């Protein structure tokens, strides 16, 4: 008995029974079935072929391509997590920067009793006063590098060791004098704040005229480079791969691309909230400079499901009443020929097909 199937608005009848092909339901990403190859093309009757050449039928090409799926998320523009800067001495705040100001190494972060607290380049927090011929330490080596970067020392003379030397004493004295302090060879912990690079002022937590004590938070800082940060479900980890490219659109219509530079797992805000993946996306600074902090970008993250597979639109699939799928391909005469296939992985509007007599470039009938 012939198997009858519907393709678009045209009914096709195979001239011989069709062996059901193993299949996966549209919309599910599954590996190709293990079943044997389905039978080759089924020749259609003259009447069927005549109906199948209906010019109103839409067709698409079978193509060898990569299959990708996407997820979209609304992701804010931010400068990353801010870190606090506490006072290390007792006094009165006499000057503060403005929010969003960028402070370069060598410049003043704020002033206490009209004395500047200087930003120096380094990753190790200041944890003790620096005094001549003190015990060795990484903070000594870091201070030497910071003073060289600011031009207060000759790298060949001051070196990079963890030991004190005369060149370091001279460089500290020059720094103090340039900042308005009395000239001597000590660098108190209260005078400097170390950061890896220039910083941006995220918020002020003290006010001019306010008295402070050691530990009083004065301001918070961030990096100077804005990012777009997306939070997605942990089950979508395949979409958040470091170095992967993403596309984004901002509310003002600006379109841009970026690359994922960091992915971390963050705990849910409450005991019943699931963990999420936070993907930090690096975007060209000239794109983000016009975007306010907190602006939500529509970000499309892509996952490659399969590479180099033969694929057709999902709407080309024809379901057999006995199970399995086929596609209706056009032969050289323009007649539709029903070809059983095995379905593989699905991605978006496309599906991988194998096992059938379909070649790249063949035209297959698709439903509108």
pLDDT digits (tens, 9 = 90+) for 148-168: 999 999 999 999 999 999 999
Instruction: Give the integer Cα–Cα distance in Å for 123 and 196.
Output: 5
pLDDT computed for residue 149 by the predictor: 97
Tokens 């170390």 belong to: 194
Check residue 80 and give its pLDDT: 84
Regions of the chain where pLDDT drops below 50: 1-41, 43-53
The β-bridge partners of 259 are 245, 282
- Residue 321 CB-density burial (10 A; 0-12 exposed, 13-18 middle, 19+ buried): exposed
Contact 190, 166 (CB under 8 A): no
Hey, what domains does the chain have and what are their CATH numbers? 4-69+306-366 (2.40.420.20), 71-79+227-302 (2.40.30.170), 83-222 (no CATH)
Structure tokens at 279: 């993907």
Q: Check: pTM over 0.85? Answer yes or no.
A: no
């Amino acid at each position: 008995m012939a198997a009858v199937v519907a393709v678009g608005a045209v009914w096709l009848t195979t001239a011989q029974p069709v062996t059901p092909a193993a299949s996966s339901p549209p919309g599910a990403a599954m590996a190709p079935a293990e079943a044997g190859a389905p039978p080759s093309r089924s020749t259609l009757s003259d009447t069927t072929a005549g109906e199948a050449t209906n010019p109103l039928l839409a067709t698409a090409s079978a193509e060898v391509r990569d299959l990708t799926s996407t997820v979209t998320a609304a992701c804010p523009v931010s400068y990353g997590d801010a870190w606090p800067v506490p006072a290390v001495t007792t006094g009165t705040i006499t000057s503060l920067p403005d929010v969003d100001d960028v402070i370069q190494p060598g410049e003043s972060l704020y002033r206490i009793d009209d004395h500047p607290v200087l930003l120096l380049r380094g990753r190790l927090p200041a944890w003790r006063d620096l005094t001549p011929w003190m015990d060795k330490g990484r903070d000594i080596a870091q201070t030497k590098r910071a003073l060289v970067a600011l031009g207060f020392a000759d790298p060949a003379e001051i070196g990079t060791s963890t030991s004190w030397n005369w060149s370091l004493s001279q460089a500290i004295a020059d720094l103090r004098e340039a900042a308005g302090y009395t000239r001597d060879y000590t660098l108190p912990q209260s005078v400097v704040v170390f950061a890896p690079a220039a910083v941006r002022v995220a918020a002020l937590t003290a006010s001019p005229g306010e008295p402070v004590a050691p530990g009083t938070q004065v301001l918070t800082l961030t990096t100077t480079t804005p990012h777009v940060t997306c939070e997605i479900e942990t089950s979508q980890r395949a979409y958040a791969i470091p170095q992967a490219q993403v596309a984004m659109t901002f509310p003002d219509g600006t379109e841009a691309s970026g690359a994922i530079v960091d992915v971390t797992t963050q705990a849910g805000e409450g005991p019943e909230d699931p963990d999420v993946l936070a993907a930090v996306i690096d975007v060209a600074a000239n794109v983000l400079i016009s975007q306010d902090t907190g602006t939500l970008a529509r970000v499309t993250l892509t996952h490659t499901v399969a590479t180099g597979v033969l694929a057709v639109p999902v709407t080309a699939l024809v379901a057999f009443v006995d199970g399995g799928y086929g596609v209706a391909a056009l032969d050289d005469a323009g007649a539709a020929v029903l070809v059983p296939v095995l379905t593989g992985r699905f991605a978006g509007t496309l599906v991988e097909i194998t096992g059938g007599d379909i070649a790249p470039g063949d035209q297959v009938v698709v439903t509108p």
